[in-house]
Amino acid sequence: MDLSASPGVVKERASGVSTVLIVDDQEAVREALELLLEVHGLRAESVAGAEEALARIRQGGVAAVVQDMNFSRDTTSGEEGIELFRRIRAILPTMPVLLMTAWTSLETAVALVREGAVDYVQKPWNDDKLVASLKNLVRLRELQLENERLRAAAQLDRETLASAHDLRGLVYVSSVMHRTVELALRVAASDAPILVLGPNGSGKEKLAEIIAYSSRRKDRPFVRVNAGAIPDALLESELFGVEAGAFTGATKSRGGHFEAAHGGTLFLDEIGNLSLAGQQKLLRVLQTGELQRLGSSQLRRVDVRVISATNEDLRAAIANKTFREDLYFRLNVVELTLPRLAERSEDILPLAEAFLARTASPHELSDAARRALAKHDYPGNVRELENRITRATLVCHGGVIQPADLGLESADAGRPREITLEQDAIARALAEHDGNISRAAAQLGVSRQALYRRMDKLEMSSGRKSGS
């Protein structure tokens, strides 16, 4: 029987996916399984061979497959079942497949479980266990497809937003960042002052840039100033300008940052570090829209949209009398908050890939490097991630970046190689059922024996003192 690879990956929809497809060449087996499942409230269909099975799967609506390992008379090698399983994985990689075998060696079935099959069941099967397993698989498959639908809708929202606005190269996939960017774009059209809060390296300046280039001032100057780094003695001259002769060494008149940003946007970073004296001077200009250069009595009117940013808790600073409350409300007409990178972990790998692409480096991330990146806490946030990627491209020997190149410990260090996210899922199920293997196996949609095998492979115990 020719079971050559089938082209294309099928995309399923969440709605109407509840059918269990039975693949077995024996009509009596098909009828018995269909009746069993339908009696227990599961919709079932059956086909006799591989080509019919693949055609039915491509039509959609299949939540799980129960497949025999042999479809031709006097065939017991299991090769036909292996090829069918792999073809199903090729067109629908996440489709749950439960193997049924009477003649095929257990080694073959176990090998396919390692490749992604849910479990294997020996004929004759146990009705209760088989039904419980398939009910769990159908439920999990429908949840999985619904999550995929939501992710696809979110991706479409991001793409629509990016096509309509200049996001200045911002990379994200997380919903929390999408909500923040959406709000930023909604308020960009106004001239209202905006306060951006977030830890160092979280992207506050990038968000301010997006606002500036999405506003009516996008063709006017966007001036960036680290306000907290300006000494008090230089604050007035830096922000508001200076006239020649105003102090020793002032040989020329020049405008300050406010004048440079006239008609555009002024980004005042680290505003929480500004001294009280500096805060008072800034407040006066924000209230009146007028400034005086140092050494001049002439009032100059400026038209500037101010976006400020800080990693400080300004409310606590107000309570401690280190930040003016009136300036806080002048700056904080709209408040935007950026989370720590660790709080939007789904953005880590897309950002890493984007930073790697920007280096024009031929390097690529190893699986171990990806795991290490995903595990790291990032006290320095996005800036730290970018620095680690840049460092890796400089120190990496060969074309594949490893955790050590990133300055990170391997996520697998000190753990058996086989321990993966699967161990965490098993541990959670065991904890929920007080170490009861049977109930944990039912929740996970596998047989008790299969769970025992996986736990033994992963060097896990049930956590119970007595057997379960």
pLDDT per residue over 182-194, tens digit each?
Answer: 999 999 999 999 9
Residue 264 φ/ψ, nearest 5 degrees: -125, -140
Answer yes or no: is pLDDT of 416 > 60: no
At residue 463, the pLDDT reads 53
Tally of CB atoms within 10 A around 466: 6
What is the C-alpha separation between 202 and 351, in angstroms, rounded?
A: 12
Q: Who contacts 51 (Cβ-Cβ below 8 Å, separation ≥6)? A: none
Answer yes or no: is pLDDT of 79 > 90: no
Cβ atoms of 144 and 74 closer than 8 Å:
no
Residue among 364, 377, 369, 223 nearest 302 (CA)? 223
Q: Who contacts 254 (Cβ-Cβ below 8 Å, separation ≥6)? A: 241, 242
Cβ atoms of 72 and 50 closer than 8 Å:
no
40 three-state secondary structure = coil
Over residues 315-342, the mean pLDDT reads 96
Of 51-55, 76-80, 241-245, minimum mean pLDDT range: 76-80
At residue 155, the pLDDT reads 86
At residue 413, the pLDDT reads 58
At residue 23, the pLDDT reads 94
The pTM assigned to this predicted structure is 0.67
Cα distances from 24 to residues 49, 80, 119, 215, in angstroms, run 7, 11, 17, 63
Quick: pLDDT tens for 340-355: 999 999 999 999 999 9
Concatenated DSSP letters for 270-327? TGGG--HHHHHHHHHHHHHSEEE-BT---EEE---EEEEEESS-HHHHHHTTSS-HHH
Name all domains of the chain by residue range, CATH numbers in brackets.
19-146 (3.40.50.2300), 165-337 (3.40.50.300), 341-406 (1.10.8.60), 421-457 (1.10.10)
Quick: pLDDT tens for 195-204: 999 999 999 9
Running DSSP on this structure, what letter comes out for residue 242?
A: B
What is the C-alpha separation between 355 and 245, in angstroms, rounded?
A: 47
Cα distances from 17 to residues 9, 32, 61, 123, in angstroms, run 17, 22, 4, 27
Q: Which residues pair with 100 in a beta bridge?
A: 68, 121
Of 130-144, 269-283, 293-307, 416-430, minimum mean pLDDT range: 416-430
At residue 97, the pLDDT reads 92
Q: List, edge to edge, every strand of the sheet that includes 334-337.
A: 222-226, 265-269, 305-310, 194-197, 334-337
Mean pLDDT of all residues belonging to the chain: 86
